[in-house]
Chains A and B, each alone.
Chain A
């Protein structure tokens, strides 16, 4: 697959990936979601609409514009099996879209919130979805057959600020929520109308609706993103104080955190049970490895295309000028040498799931989407990854990004 610039210049121009658009300006991709076979992507180009693009050989063609929201669409999720799309926006609404023929038709869901909705996720069984909002609560929505209507229940206590991110546990009941009150929490979103009582998990066995099973100790940053691991036994989150943390349910919810040198990370996902990919304001995805034995997280490396251009030398005059103006004699790059030219706001798994991810996708505020492949060599005897090799396809050329990262060395 190619690196596709979803770039809409007002003039017709060739952009990497061989597409030419001439409708409107370059816009950040607010959020995106993929369909089951990854042939279509739904995204919000920083406005009130959702655009659906279909893969057409090496190009992407827009197949439909979903226009219903009166405010920016802040979250999109595409249920793979039932093929329904749920969107939520700053207009305090959510819509469930179903395909009727070739057209997507919306159904309004009353969330009963008085602030913007910020994130939405279908549950694994796709019989419920959760919406986080600025109303400091989570709306759990399910379909009531008798009334042919989506209803919602609220999880309120003890959330004290906007819920920025959500992720479901594979048991369809537990929900991790990251919030602006600096905490990551796990709640039960058990709805007796649509499911059986869940069995015990590593986070607890009593799960009535709204019960909080875990709450992180305070960091000092808004929790931007949360992710359960594939098994659901671990939860990871990133916070605005440049911190990434993992809580291990199998170790009485002990928290390991990693204090980073770089700018805050906005999105995170597990790619194996022990490894995470996170990205944010530094514009490149980074690998982190969790060591359950040591209870620590290590930085596994920056994942990005290698520097293409050779740097020319700095003249003596330039050195003097730089010393005078900036108190440093090094020439600073004015352009980013990362693939994404602006912050990465969302990462999604394309293939392999959260346990053995082989492909993931990033979208960002530069309006670009990149697809990253992972070649993994498993050490089956100890069930950990012994070697990671990352590739990124860019302009048709597949480049090796990181040499094998031996997790023993980390």
Chain B
């Protein structure tokens, strides 16, 4: 196949860049979002109350903040909670969540897939299977279409 030797840089030009009607995402104040409470979650894990830890770690998701550290910390905390569950208990845990929490869990799961660490993907895959049967493909669609995510 012949290679196009003429430059195709024009394809990367944003024709709408200087249009004053250009769509901008709504700015929702996210400066105060700190993510789930680390202390609370840690103490619940230590007590062995994993269901409680799951509920707690899904609170205050750092969706609107631009602070990447907050997001990374939240993701790490979620992963910690998810890894502490025994495989057999995952299904019950997911069943206890409401629809919004299942969507949020799905967002954290996919975020976790982006930066795999030792054994994290295996744990996340188990949670993904259960979350999928609870939330359906719709929950994955919402991970893909979310403009602001964890």
Q: List residues of A whose CB falls within 8 A of some B CB.
A: 136, 156, 160-161, 181, 218, 220-221, 240-242, 259-264, 327
Asked whether A260 lies within 8 Å of B138 as measured between CB atoms, the reply is: yes
User: If the complex has contacts A220-B145, A220-B146, A240-B145, are A263 and B138 also in contact, measured as CB distance less than 8 A?
Assistant: yes
B26 in the interface (beta carbon within 8 A): yes
Shortest distance from the beta carbon of B77 to any chain A beta carbon, whole Å: 24
User: If the complex has contacts A160-B21, A160-B23, are A259 and B145 also in contact, measured as CB distance less than 8 A?
Assistant: no
B147 in the interface (beta carbon within 8 A): yes
Q: Cβ of B137: which chain A residues have Cβ within 8 Å of it?
A: 242, 261-263
Sorted from nearest, which 6 A-B pairs have the closest CB atoms? A261-B136, A242-B138, A160-B23, A241-B145, A261-B138, A242-B141
Q: Cβ of B142: which chain A residues have Cβ within 8 Å of it?
A: 220, 241-242, 259
Q: Cβ of B136: which chain A residues have Cβ within 8 Å of it?
A: 260-262
Give how many A-B residue pairs fall within 8 Å (CB-CB). Answer: 44
Q: Cβ of A181: which chain B residues have Cβ within 8 Å of it?
A: 23
Q: Cβ of B103: which chain A residues have Cβ within 8 Å of it?
A: 259
- Chain A interface secondary structure, helix, strand, loop or mixed? loop
* Per-residue contact bits, chain B 109-148, to A (CB 8 Å; 1 contact, 0 not): 0000000000000000100010000011111011001110
Q: Cβ of A160: which chain B residues have Cβ within 8 Å of it?
A: 21-23
Q: Cβ of A218: which chain B residues have Cβ within 8 Å of it?
A: 26
Shortest distance from the beta carbon of A269 to any chain B beta carbon, whole Å: 21
Asked whether B147 lies within 8 Å of A220 as measured between CB atoms, the reply is: yes
In the complex, what distance in Å separates the CA atom of A261 from the CA atom of B136? 4
Q: Cβ of B139: which chain A residues have Cβ within 8 Å of it?
A: 261
Q: Cβ of A136: which chain B residues have Cβ within 8 Å of it?
A: 21
Shortest distance from the beta carbon of A261 to any chain B beta carbon, whole Å: 3
Q: Cβ of A261: which chain B residues have Cβ within 8 Å of it?
A: 135-139
Asked whether A241 lies within 8 Å of B23 as measured between CB atoms, the reply is: no
In the complex, what distance in Å separates the CA atom of A76 from the CA atom of B135? 36
Shortest distance from the beta carbon of A286 to any chain B beta carbon, whole Å: 12
Shortest distance from the beta carbon of B21 to any chain A beta carbon, whole Å: 6
Q: Cβ of B135: which chain A residues have Cβ within 8 Å of it?
A: 261
